Amino acid sequence: MNTVLPDPEALCAELVLQLKPQVTSETALVGIHTGGVWLAERLHAALGIKPPLGVLDISFYRDDFDKTGLHPQIKPSQIPFEVEGRHIVLVDDVLYTGRTVRGAMNELFDYGRPASISLAVLIDRGGRELPVAAQYVGAALEIAPGRMLVLDRDQNGKLRLKFDA
């Protein structure tokens, strides 16, 4: 199966258009390491969101932690705003099983109880194992099980999608 991958730069612009009418002064963006953070940085700047960007590394919140072990490049989570009562847009690159999003929500609730959490993803590839749905989607793609789609960033900051070996 030879899937033609869309341009993530164009998908990012599409997400800006989808999000713009929903962003208020109470909206905060939180990116999930790593690709979700890159995407959230772009969205944060393009939307002119006032609260600083939040960053989550959900390594300790994964429900498969005992099977996969600790990721070698854990980064600290940073939520530099009050979560309590805030409208949060959680940002990730590729939505697949829903387990990463579940872990991210668990961690967010450790910081407080948000008014709402919505999800923005560059790619929704289906294959859910949990009842998780994105409200904002750059593109939906059918990708064979077992293939891993990842967002990459070159040295100039340009985003690209590729299949992980």
pLDDT tens across 97-109, in order?
A: 999 999 999 999 9
Task: Flag whether 153 is in a domain.
Answer: yes
Beta strand spans in 8-135 (E): 27-32, 54-56, 87-95, 116-124
Token duo for residue 26: 């109470």
Does residue 65 surpass a pLDDT of 60? no
Determine the pLDDT at residue 4: 85
What is the Cα 157 distance to its own chain's centre?
17
Among 79, 86, 85, smallest CA distance to 31 is for 79
**% of the chain with per-residue pLDDT over 70:** 90
Q: How confident is the model at residue 84 (pLDDT cuts 50, 70, 90)?
A: very high
> What range defines the domain where residue 87 resides?
8-63+83-164
Residues ≥6 apart with Cβ < 8 Å to 17: none
CATH of the domain at 154: 3.40.50.2020
Beta bridge partners of 31: 55, 91
On whether residue 26 sits in a domain, the answer given is yes
> 68 in a domain, yes or no?
no
What pLDDT shows up at residue 32? 97
Domain assignment present for residue 98? The answer is: yes
What pLDDT, on a 0 to 100 scale, did the predictor assign at position 99?
Answer: 94
Whether residue 133 is contained in a domain is answered as yes
Instruction: Give the mean pLDDT of 1-11.
Output: 86
In this structure, is residue 31 part of a structural domain? yes
Mean predicted confidence (pLDDT) in 89-95: 98
For residue 93, being part of any structural domain is answered with yes
When divided into structural domains, the chain yields a total of 1
Count of residues for the chain?
165
Res 69: pLDDT: 53
Question: Counting runs of H as helices and runs of E as strands, what totals does the chain give?
Answer: 4, 7
Per the domain annotation, does 109 fall within a domain?
Answer: yes
Query: Which residue(s) pair with 122 in the sheet?
Result: none
Helix (H, G, I), strand (E, B) or coil at 1: coil
Q: Please give the pLDDT value at position 61.
A: 75
